[in-house]
A and B are shown apart, each in its own frame.
Chain A
Amino acid sequence: MNDAAKLHIESLSKTYAGDGHVVTAIDRIDLAIQNREFATILGPSGCGKSTLLRIVAGLAKPTEGTVWLDGRAIDGPGRDRGMVFQTYTLFPWLTVRENIQFGLAVSGVDRVRQEQIAQEFVGKVGLKGFETAFPKALSGGMKQRVAIARALANNPAILLLDEPFGALDAQTRSLMQELLTQIWEELHITILFVTHDVEEAIFLSDRVFVMTARPGRIKAEIEVPLERPRSYEIKTSETFLRLKQRALALIREEAIKATQHQDTE
């Protein structure tokens, strides 16, 4: 146990009542994320990694176990844990700036301060000039930039990202990864990121936790010693490729297991 950890996940399990049998989504997961760390949970689809993130966000309740953030047990969602979803969740009736201000507005920050903060994050995600645009005028990548800015504007203790670039095309995704890296290097906040994309996990993270197929457990932990600041060029470096190979092998085993499991079902 590491009491100094920013986020501490303690023997967390989640089971669902399926039809006639009990489905174990995640099984006794223990994790400790350090302050200012960029940690990624990498797993095949259906391994329960999103469930894990939703529990940390407070949007789902665990069957057993506890999540501690800064020493306090999590009970329900809160503004200390900003979340970015895979689906586009911008409020379409609000402009880019109003979307970014949403969290500040609901917690009663005064309007002038709201606008200052929103403007700051509009700049950080490179959307200057789009402040008064409605989401319908934005591309998928731009929407996710706003979603990230909106979560960050709240100054959360930890930022949770659930496959935020999953719906984007490969080029946009790559650019978004670089943007997120830049933002993290600048703000240095704690991030818990979930993905099934091996390259994305390694490129972004300090540490990658590989999950098993259902029931989800932590199978391996990969330290990523790549230096920062990182740019897309490191994706072809020797260290990167070696890490990628290792992660690929781990995740492939699980993907195969998951397929076989599905076949027998």
Chain B
Amino acid sequence: MPPKREPSLLRRWTAADLVMPREPIPAGLYLVLSVGCFAVLLLLWSILTYGKFIDPLFLPTPGRVFQAGVDLFVEFGFIFDILNSTYRVLLGFVIAAILGVPLGLLMGTFKMAEAVIEPIMGFIRYMPASAFIPLFILWLGIGDVQKVAIIFVGSFFQLVLMIAVVAKSVPKDMLETAYTLGAGRVQVIRKVLLPASLPGMVDTLRIIIGWAWTYIVVAELVASSSGIGYMIISAQRMLRTASIIFGILTIGVLGLLTDYGFKWLYRKLFPWVD
């Protein structure tokens, strides 16, 4: 095992150490820089708005946005919008995953499946999910089904292709080793290909759910009566800029939380990953 780095306090870091390509930096400094970036943005925002450099109609102050958030929760039942959106995202994502993961694995494992699936998936994934909205309204109406369908279209095709890449990247030597140890075809798939693909699969799902969060707004901006996207579009009609910004920030936070959730799950499930 490579020797552990000395604790940052004991080590003398020179300025040159800190800008070495890909070399580690003290953990404390890392945290300060990460938080600092948020702080600087907030500061910049504050200066621009409290200093009255910008019309509050375009960019309200952080305080106004916070107040708008409180109002949204207290008076407008924003929590139900959040729950609605979350429900749609999760449903679309789960359906995409349930269908997409096996299909992707199939495609990454068997050349026959690849020949059938890859060209069509590669073609459809370039069609923007938002362009399906008018079509889905026509087909499915303006209820939850249509929203979920948009999420599904936005995630499914990418998911299949990415899962296939994960399955394909399992080293062939590993499969061959299993054969020489007496494993049959089915055992090689069940006992080697699947477990070897699992971390990559979870990581792919993490990325895909991030995209699903961005599609929900697109889906809810048009012909909707609830959800975060609906709140944003209604706020725009009333020129409540602070609410728009709060809505956008909410989605950012939700996306970040899901991301951390998946990362936590990944570490719990796969302590063996290098």
Instruction: Report A's interface with B, CB cutoff 8 A.
Output: 57-59, 76-79, 81-83, 85, 87, 89, 91-94, 102-103, 105-107, 134-137, 139, 147, 150-151, 154, 160
Sample (19) of A-B pairs whose CB atoms are under 8 Å apart: A57-B176, A58-B180, A59-B180, A78-B180, A82-B180, A83-B177, A85-B176, A92-B196, A92-B274, A93-B196, A102-B183, A106-B178, A106-B182, A107-B182, A134-B272, A136-B273, A137-B1, A151-B180, A154-B181
* A-chain residues with CB within 8 Å of residue B196 when the two chains form the complex: 91-93
Do the beta carbons of A85 and B182 come within 8 Å of each other?
A: no
Interface string of B33-77 (1 = CB under 8 A from A): 000000000000000000000000000000000000000000000
Do the beta carbons of B182 and A91 come within 8 Å of each other?
A: no
Report the minimal beta-carbon distance from A118 to chain B, rounded to whole angstroms: 13
* A-chain residues with CB within 8 Å of residue B8 when the two chains form the complex: none
Do the beta carbons of B195 and A79 come within 8 Å of each other?
A: no
Interface residues on B, range: 20 to 34
Question: How distant is the Cα of A106 from the Cα of B191 in the complex, in angstroms?
Answer: 9
Chain B residue nearest to A103 in the complex (CB): B181
Instruction: Report B's interface with A, CB cutoff 8 A.
Output: 1, 171, 173-174, 176-184, 187, 191-192, 195-196, 198, 270-274
Do the beta carbons of A57 and B273 come within 8 Å of each other?
A: no
Do the beta carbons of A106 and B173 come within 8 Å of each other?
A: no
Do the beta carbons of A78 and B182 come within 8 Å of each other?
A: yes
Do the beta carbons of A136 and B176 come within 8 Å of each other?
A: no
A87-B173 contact, Cβ under 8 Å, with A102-B178, A137-B1, A154-B181: yes
Do the beta carbons of A57 and B180 come within 8 Å of each other?
A: yes
Do the beta carbons of B187 and A106 come within 8 Å of each other?
A: yes
Chain A residue nearest to B192 in the complex (CB): A91
One of B171, B181, B184, B198 near A150 (C-beta < 8 A):
B181
Do the beta carbons of B181 and A102 come within 8 Å of each other?
A: yes
Do the beta carbons of A83 and B180 come within 8 Å of each other?
A: yes
* A-chain residues with CB within 8 Å of residue B183 when the two chains form the complex: 102-103, 106
* A-chain residues with CB within 8 Å of residue B184 when the two chains form the complex: 106
Do the beta carbons of A91 and B174 come within 8 Å of each other?
A: yes
Report the minimal beta-carbon distance from B196 to chain A, rounded to whole angstroms: 7
A135-B272 contact, Cβ under 8 Å, with A87-B173, A89-B174: yes
Do the beta carbons of B187 and A91 come within 8 Å of each other?
A: no
Question: How distant is the Cα of A89 from the Cα of B181 in the complex, in angstroms?
Answer: 12
Question: How distant is the Cα of A118 from the Cα of B24 in the complex, in angstroms?
Answer: 39
* B-chain residues with CB within 8 Å of residue A59 when the two chains form the complex: 176, 179-180
* A-chain residues with CB within 8 Å of residue B180 when the two chains form the complex: 57-59, 77-79, 81-83, 151, 160
Question: How distant is the Cα of A93 from the Cα of B182 in the complex, in angstroms?
Answer: 19
Question: How distant is the Cα of A106 from the Cα of B187 in the complex, in angstroms?
Answer: 7
* Most A Cβ at <10 Å: residue of B180, B182, B272: B180
Question: How distant is the Cα of A87 from the Cα of B173 in the complex, in angstroms?
Answer: 8
Question: How distant is the Cα of A85 from the Cα of B187 in the complex, in angstroms?
Answer: 20
A136-B274 contact, Cβ under 8 Å, with A79-B182, A89-B174, A103-B181: yes
Chain B residue nearest to A153 in the complex (CB): B181
